[in-house]
Structure 1
Amino acid sequence: MSAEMIHHSFFPFNSVRSMALEGEKYDKNVENDLIMKWAKENNNDLLQIVCGYEALPLPSRGSEVIFHPLEHLQAIKYNRPEISALGLCENFPEMKMQCSLETPEVNTRLAAAEQALSLSLWTVATVCRVLSLESIMAFFAGVLLEKQVVVASANLGILSATVLSLIPMIRPFEWQSLLLPILPRKMFDFLDAPVPFIVGIQQKPADMKLKTSNLIYVNLDKDQVTMCYLPPLPRYKELISELGPIHARLSCENSTAKRHPVYKCNEVQAKAAGKFLQVMGCYMESLCSDLRSHSITNVQSKNDKVALLLKDSFIDSFPCRDRPFMKLLVNTQLFSVLSDSQLS
């Protein structure tokens, strides 16, 4: 949430904004400074945190930034990774040349990879502690097929970590619709929207029912996933077999993790979460690694070449038992975006 959004919530009469806008040019930094001054004078810690974050400069790649907005809070350190640590050059060889170019497409892809890396270990360690492996796979399958996913828990830290764990877990795919780690109660009407979403709530509404096959409800406090039938994930048994020992190791860390905030992982948890994501990454790559073998090149006007995926041919390349899931997957927005990117 930006300082501008917070400003509207805390200043109904816009007195500070009018001061910032007295000149002809609007200076966002001036407004942020004025809001920060008001927050300090009125001992508003929340607003000071937001304004401090808003004013924080973006560190260069490979450098560290320290965020310490309030003296009585512990400082947060963030080490911004180098491009080589993002894994793009390995998964997308064409990125080796593109990463040096400052284009919107490249910057968007780099930002998505950096976000996934930052969220990777602590979010995956958390979801493995609160959900069984079978529940995680059901949750994961629903996200891949772009269902409406509602995650519930009384613990805000666990809730947000679980929702955010899907970002690194589905790489190289990227979620294309709304993702809200915590949906405020006053916005529960949004749950009736006819679009894919992943949202976190603290308590299930009394009148919420599985009205359609698109809705999946994940209760973190009870380790329950309620959903209509979905075809099984490709190579489901093999995936469960690979992830089982890793998940069991993380589950054993639950009592240790309860003594710390969810974003803190010890060496054992981080190592296990890294292995879990490594297996998931190889699995996800197997679902989209052979796209070019099932595409044709269509020459457009002005000799522009466009590669088109032959969906039926691609689906038929999978074993019969895996095809029902793949038929649904290839028609999702997240698959279309990735395939277009790889074939372009």
Structure 2
Amino acid sequence: MGSRIKNDVKKLFEFWCEVKPTRGIDRGTISRNGGGTATPAGVIIESFPEGFRDKEVLTGIPSFAFPCDIERGSVQSYSFVHTTGDSKWRFGFCRHDPKTDTAMVLITYLPWHDTFLKLLIVLAELRRTDRNGFRTFLSEAYNRGVPDSGGSLTVFYSSGQSHFTFERPLQFQLPSIPENHNLNLYYNFVDPKEMICVFAAMLAERRIIFTSSHLDRLSSCIQAANAFLYPMVWQHIFIPVLPWEFKDYLGAPMPYLIGVPKPVLDTVSDDELGEVVILNCDTKIFESPFDDVRSLPPEIVSQLKKYLSHTQDHIGDRVSKIFLGALVQLIGGYRDAVEFHDTCKTFNHAKFIESRPAHLRPFLTKMMELQIFAQFVDDRLKMLNSGLGFSDEFELETVRYAEKMKKRGRNYVFLKQMKDKSPRSNSSAQPQPEDSMNDLISLDDSNNTSFDLEDFDPLNQNARPLPPLGSKHFNSNKTKSSTLPAGVTSSVVMQANNSVNNPLYPYFAPKHMATVAAVTNRVTPLPPQIQRNNMTGVKPDDDFELLRKYGLDQFSLNVTTTTTTPSNTTTPALTAGAGVGKGMNNWTTFD
């Protein structure tokens, strides 16, 4: 089926009309094809050009203009799609104004949603203020032709005082925020989680229903969701707004993507629908009998969730590129499976699966059975076989992703080589000493001298007191036991036990203790203040007592002055075990 967009479009629009609804009718008596005596949903009261004779379009427009009972409290503008005999999409843009009881409809082959929704605003105002100028404007726009890709065409009205510019989007331009009307509404009314669920359902080619009480919201959300399927194209039934007269399409056994007004969906029973996926754009509720998200590769789902959660980065085409990036990872390597023959190029399905990462193969095996993927491959092969070069946004993203993977692979190889060349550290090469278990933190409650966090809280009445200085956990010189490095002697020996120990710091000892022990071959003396107090029999002051309670007296430093005679320079030297007098008055005590 290929692309659903017509290529050789010669006119900006095909048909314009104004439709008046039929009052007091029973929707059940409305005929779909306009035949018989059934009453249509509306009547075309004015149109342009006069010679338009496509009967299928003329009979279908009233139903799409009034697909259900319209609330006329505010202006509503929405789009619909009519599929032609050659499977091409013809787009309709409709506007309801509460100031009138009619609807204005524009039919075109061009999917320029933002341009034509703005055009309807200008047409409505011009028709209200200047009927003659309105017809002149329509005639000029109809006969001016279509601008080139990325170009524009300007049509003046109101005696040249005003103008409207038709801007043709770039061929492969991605929808962006806030420029794209459809994406704006989809992003505002549907959460990222539901977007991912719809995306997964589309990749599984489910029967999918969007529903809403607002026609503008309904058509915009389903159009935006369909755009996220790029570079693939939905190949099945696609109706952004389903009129009441066409509701039997909901029972079709083949995949479809249909927007159903809430009043229409309420008239259909669950038995008539069968197994369908439903997204309510008003309540953000997603219902599905399938778990299609779980079928996606977990890495793809994680990336979608991660990037869609960064709402501050979603200006521009960022949201579109997030979904495009997922498809690049899935099918971006299709060229690896293209085989070149004398007359043509073909696609080797088995080679494609083998060329993909192992974690993607189960999903891609199922995906190759989908019509959207088969048509994607056929379209790309046609371009390759015809000798036409193509470089759309998908191909550019595929190249970027391939370069990223190559760079990551080079970095991995480099780091692995550096790791292999680097010598092993001495600590890992030398065997651990036999008594290393004694150097670890004991977790045995029977001999454990560690404390819980609450034990360090001075305001906690239940805090356990520190062991007394004369207990078995302190040596005779009143210094805490500590393990010293190899070669450093000490009279302090920790009791051996069978408790679990900490393997992280087998050679650690406090710096001040290691220095004193290594130089003097003795353990660290008590701070001078304690010695002084013990000699004089004076009780230690409260500041120092607080330090002692929390075991901080062992880490105090004494600053002594060493005088050098030749230069008369005084140099402070740090020694362990003294210097608690001057700074102790700054400590806060807790009564």
* Range class of TM-score, shorter chain: 0.5 to 0.7
Contact 1:151 1:219 in 2 (8 A): yes
Residue 232 of structure 1, aligned match among 295, 299, 303: 295
3-state SS in 2 of match to 1:55: helix
Change in Cα spacing, 1:319 to 1:123, as seen in structure 2 (3 Å) is farther
Contact 2:17 2:104 in 1 (8 A): no
Counterpart Cα distance in 2 of 1:46 and 1:211: 31
Contact 1:145 1:332 in 2 (8 A): yes
Residue 366 of structure 2, aligned match among 323, 328, 335: 328
Contact 1:210 1:227 in 2 (8 A): no
Change in Cα spacing, 1:184 to 1:2, as seen in structure 2 (3 Å) is farther
- Verify: 1:222 aligned to 2:283, yes or no: yes
Task: Could you tell me which runs of 5 or more consecutive residues in structure 1 were left unpaired when the two chains were aligned.
Answer: 32-42, 87-112, 251-270
| Identity percentage of aligned residues | 16
Q: Which amino acid aligns with 1:217?
A: I
Relative CO higher for 1 or 2, CA cutoff 8 Å, sep ≥ 6? Answer: 1
What does the per-residue CA deviation read over 1:75-119, in whole Å, with 9 as the maximum and x for residues that have no partner?
8753113xxx43xxxxxxxxxxxxxxxxxxxxxxxxxx46x6599
Contact 1:130 1:221 in 2 (8 A): yes
Give the CA deviation at 1:126. 1.6
Contact 2:347 2:377 in 1 (8 A): no
Counterpart Cα distance in 1 of 2:370 and 2:196: 18
Give the CA deviation at 1:191. 0.5
Contact 1:124 1:273 in 2 (8 A): no
Partner residue in 2 for 1:147: 206
For this pair of structures, how many residues does the alignment match?
264
Q: Which amino acid aligns with 2:337?
A: H
- Verify: 1:242 aligned to 2:307, yes or no: yes
Counterpart Cα distance in 2 of 1:160 and 1:146: 19
Task: Could you tell me which runs of 5 or more consecutive residues in structure 2 were left unpaired when the two chains were aligned.
Answer: 1-12, 20-33, 35-39, 59-99, 108-134, 383-591
Contact 2:155 2:165 in 1 (8 A): yes
Change in Cα spacing, 1:209 to 1:77, as seen in structure 2 (3 Å) is farther
Contact 1:152 1:201 in 2 (8 A): yes
Partner residue in 1 for 2:584: none
Give the CA deviation at 1:64. 3.0
What does the per-residue CA deviation read over 1:160-219, in whole Å, with 9 as the maximum and x for residues that have no partner?
110100232111111112221110112111101122211111212344327788621111
What does the per-residue CA deviation read over 1:30-49, in whole Å, with 9 as the maximum and x for residues that have no partner?
x9xxxxxxxxxxx9964576
Residue 305 of structure 1, aligned match among 344, 354, 360: 344
Change in Cα spacing, 1:55 to 1:221, as seen in structure 2 (3 Å) is same
- Verify: 1:192 aligned to 2:251, yes or no: yes
What does the per-residue CA deviation read over 1:295-316, in whole Å, with 9 as the maximum and x for residues that have no partner?
444x5xxx53241232475277
Partner residue in 2 for 1:266: none
More strand, by proportion: 2
Counterpart Cα distance in 1 of 2:255 and 2:54: 37
Contact 2:196 2:304 in 1 (8 A): no
Q: Which amino acid aligns with 2:244?
A: R
- Verify: 1:55 aligned to 2:142, yes or no: yes
3-state SS in 1 of match to 2:210: strand
Contact 2:279 2:285 in 1 (8 A): yes
Give the CA deviation at 1:3. 3.8
Q: Which amino acid aligns with 1:135?
A: E
Change in Cα spacing, 1:64 to 1:313, as seen in structure 2 (3 Å) is closer
Partner residue in 2 for 1:341: 379
Give the CA deviation at 1:294. 2.8
Counterpart Cα distance in 1 of 2:273 and 2:105: 43
Contact 1:181 1:199 in 2 (8 A): yes
Partner residue in 2 for 1:99: none
Give the CA deviation at 1:130. 1.2
Contact 1:291 1:343 in 2 (8 A): no
Partner residue in 2 for 1:285: 328
Counterpart Cα distance in 1 of 2:156 and 2:325: 38
Contact 1:296 1:310 in 2 (8 A): no
Contact 2:278 2:286 in 1 (8 A): yes
Partner residue in 1 for 2:217: 158
Give the CA deviation at 1:27. 11
Structure 1 vs Structure 2 CA RMSD: 4.3
Change in Cα spacing, 1:176 to 1:309, as seen in structure 2 (3 Å) is same
Counterpart Cα distance in 1 of 2:164 and 2:276: 36
More helix, by proportion: 1
Partner residue in 2 for 1:80: 168
3-state SS in 1 of match to 2:199: helix
Counterpart Cα distance in 1 of 2:375 and 2:105: 38
Counterpart Cα distance in 1 of 2:269 and 2:163: 40
Contact 2:152 2:168 in 1 (8 A): yes
Please list every run of at least 4 consecutive aligned residues from structure 1 whose deviation after the TM superposition is greater than 4 angstroms: 4-12, 47-54, 65-70, 74-77, 116-120, 210-214
